Chains A and B, each alone.
Chain A
Amino acid sequence: MAEKYRLKINPPPPTDEEIAARKNFDRVLGQYRRTAKSRSLHDTISRLNKSVPVFILMLLLALLIVYFGQVMRRRNQPAPKPAPTQTGLNPATARGAAPDQLPLSLAVA
């Protein structure tokens, strides 16, 4: 099993030259600019990811409301009056149908 801690007794401290050689603010600034740019793009995309589905749902809901509104309006409109027919005439014979083409009940009569 690996030991929990590794002890270093009196390790030599880094020299000034070694530290100076590693210090590079321009590198960190460059990394910062790249990361900040990609972060802002990522933030925009994640904001869009959150808002686009909500927008689509709202649009669907609005379309549904408009559609059902129209259906309800059509239902509530009064039914059109039937076209006037000659009294005493059978509507089928009045249109000139032959007796053998009449329904059985009417032909027998």
Chain B
Amino acid sequence: MLAKPGQLPAASPMHQSERAIAEENDIVERAKTNPEVFGFLYEKYYRSIFVFIDRRVEDRQTADDLTSQVFLKAMLNLPKYQFKGLPFSAWLYRIASNQINEFYRNSHQSRVVSLDDTHLERLFGEAGETAHRDRANLVRHLLDQLEPAEVQLLELRFFEDRPFKEIAYILDITENNAKVKTYRILEKLRKLLNLNEG
């Protein structure tokens, strides 16, 4: 039986069991013929999509507008959705990612990248550096060398801790390509660290 939206577990929707993913797909299939059923998915994922967008834009109103657009597009394109063994949220994040790209293409503003201390810890840990003082400044230099698609990958992998399979799906690239690009980003960071030390 379906849980009511308010009773859904608070755990990250990106890490669901196979059974939960299959159950969710049943809801998606029902929502294809009855748009009101989509309300369950809206309730379940509104928060995570809003936060995802909010970290990538300047203000909350823009995040609100873009989040509404994401869910509207998801509803309109639901008949085209094909289950690929991933949580439905991966498809929503993919739409959100495209929506953010479209917003920056049209507005010509500088992209916003949100960072927490824990993200920096994780990123520098992966690069093999744990004791650097001016990490924020180094990340600023690193970002200057990266294209928007690479920054998106950096955010998804190191700031949001997503598996490569989902990153590849969200960015519409192969899993292997996502791994290679991540390796290259880390190489760039290591070079910057070496330059800084030298």
Contacts and interface: CB of A to CB of B under 8 A. Distances in A.
Contacts of B43: 23, 25
Contacts of B68: 27-28, 31
Interface stretch (A7-15, A44-52, A55-63): A7-15
A55 B121 CA distance: 67
A67 B130 CA distance: 89
Q: How large is the interface on A (under 10, 10 to 19, 20 to 34, 35 or more residues)?
A: 20 to 34
Interface of A: 2-11, 13-14, 18-19, 22-23, 25, 27-29, 31-33, 35-36, 39
Contact of B110 (A4, A19, A27): A4
B72 A4 contact: no
Interface of B: 35-36, 38-39, 42-43, 46-47, 50-51, 54-55, 58, 60, 63-64, 67-68, 71-72, 75-76, 109-117, 136, 139-140, 143-144, 151
Nearest to B147: A4
Given A6-B58, A29-B36, A35-B72, A19 B113 contact: no
A75 B112 CA distance: 80
Nearest to B139: A7
Given A8-B115, A31-B68, A36-B76, 6 more contacts: A7-B114, A9-B115, A10-B115, A23-B50, A32-B72, A32-B76
9 smallest A-B Cβ distances: which pairs? A8-B114, A32-B75, A5-B143, A6-B110, A25-B42, A22-B64, A25-B39, A23-B46, A28-B71
